[in-house]
Copies of this chain bind each other. A is one copy, B any other.
Amino acid sequence: MIIVIRDKATEAQVSELMDWLHSFNVKTNLVTGVHSRIIGLIGDTTSIDMDAVLAREPVEAVKRVQEPYKNANRRFHPDDTVIEVSGRRIGGGSLAVIAGPCSVETEEQLMKTAIAVKNAGADFLRGGAFKPRTSPYAFQGLGKEGIDLLIQARKETGLPIVTEIMDLSDLDLFADVDIVQVGARNMQNFTLLKALGRCDKPVLLKRGLSATLQELLMSAEYIMSEGNSKVILCERGIRTFEPETRNTLDISAVPLLRQKTHLPIVIDPSHATGISGLIEPMSLAAVAAGADALEIEVHIDPKNAWSDGAQSLTPEQFGASMKKIRELERFMRGKEGIAI
């Protein structure tokens, strides 16, 4: 951490600042120039709040050099984290595909979709039982019944299941779920993150609509700092001024997160674009950029979907796209030095 001192700061103020900094068990280096003074901090600055530094009287500016996350940081954990669930892997060179309907609606809808995505080569089944909907008048999900149906679909297809938790109070219902998803709107629900950090269950953490990548990593750190290191990061589009797509898919998050963290990275092209015709090209782009997994919405009858039909693929469309996605995966893996 580097601290720039105001021109007019007195020696007493600077000395008081140095004392305060030393209380965090870091070493300080004061550089005195003709016009400016700078303090360099050496040691573990993770617990020093940049805002607290900025609030000190003689401070003009602060810059963090080391990232404020430890457990999620590749610097301290150089090897890729691989999440294994019932023989399926997310991370470590393979491409996992998570597919299924936005919402669990009926037994028939879920079973048909589950079988279809399995046949098309998906590795995991997704489906929402608790749905975060902007409107209180929209369908809110089947709740416990939805989770029961997912467990039944797993029994029939063997696909491990991924479903979203919306509130800590429902945690018990997720005991038999394979991967717990935290949605974009809950990325900074810190109480929930901490509780999930005390579970021994993989967590698929979605980037918030306007969260920076560092904030996403800090949310992963919340989970990891409680002991659960099975975190999967998911980029699902960020909010920008562009109205044509629901959000703007930030594919550069893949190589950038790859540098900064050892955690696996999923791309969700369905929520990112909101347009079914863009899902295949954006999936291919994600694979080419080195994503570890894709999360794709599939519905047996999108035009009658209870939510997000406009961005769902039919089983036929999904099957055709999967063929290309798997071919590209094999191609990328075959090329020495190409990511994946």
Contacts and interface: CB of A to CB of B under 8 A. Distances in A.
B252 A51 contact: no
Interface string A66-106: 00110000000000000000000000000000000000000
Given A68-B135, A137-B225, A309-B51, A244 B214 contact: yes
Nearest to A287: B288
Contact of A324 (B38, B132, B212, B335): B335
A134 B194 contact: no
A300 to B, nearest CB: 13
Nearest to A279: B255
A125 interface: no
A130 to B, nearest CB: 8
Given A65-B4, A287-B288, A31 B33 contact: no
Contacts of A139: 49
B252 A272 contact: yes
Given A55-B305, A282-B289, A167 B166 contact: no
A98 to B, nearest CB: 19
Nearest to A219: B134
Nearest to A330: B331
Given A68-B137, A284-B289, A308-B51, A57 B240 contact: no
A148 to B, nearest CB: 19
Interface stretch (A111-119, A154-162, A173-181, A183-191): A183-191
Contacts of A55: 302-303, 305, 308-310, 312
A282 B49 contact: no
A31 B3 CA distance: 13
Contacts of A305: 52, 55
Interface in A188-241: 188-192, 194, 208-210, 212-215, 218, 221-222, 225-226, 238-241
Given A47-B137, A256-B278, 8 more contacts: A135-B218, A136-B225, A167-B191, A185-B189, A209-B210, A248-B250, A249-B250, A324-B335
Interface of A: 2, 4, 27, 29, 31, 33-36, 38, 40, 42-43, 46-47, 49, 51-52, 54-57, 60-61, 63, 65, 68-69, 132-140, 166-170, 185-186, 188-192, 194, 208-210, 212-215, 218, 221-222, 225-226, 238-245, 248-252, 254-256, 259, 272-275, 277-278, 281-282, 284-290, 302-303, 305-312, 320, 324, 327-328, 331, 335, 337-339
30 contacts: A2-B4, A4-B63, A31-B40, A33-B40, A38-B40, A46-B137, A52-B306, A54-B309, A55-B302, A55-B308, A55-B312, A57-B303, A63-B63, A132-B190, A133-B190, A134-B188, A135-B218, A136-B218, A167-B189, A169-B169, A210-B210, A213-B242, A240-B240, A254-B281, A256-B275, A284-B289, A285-B289, A288-B288, A288-B328, A324-B337
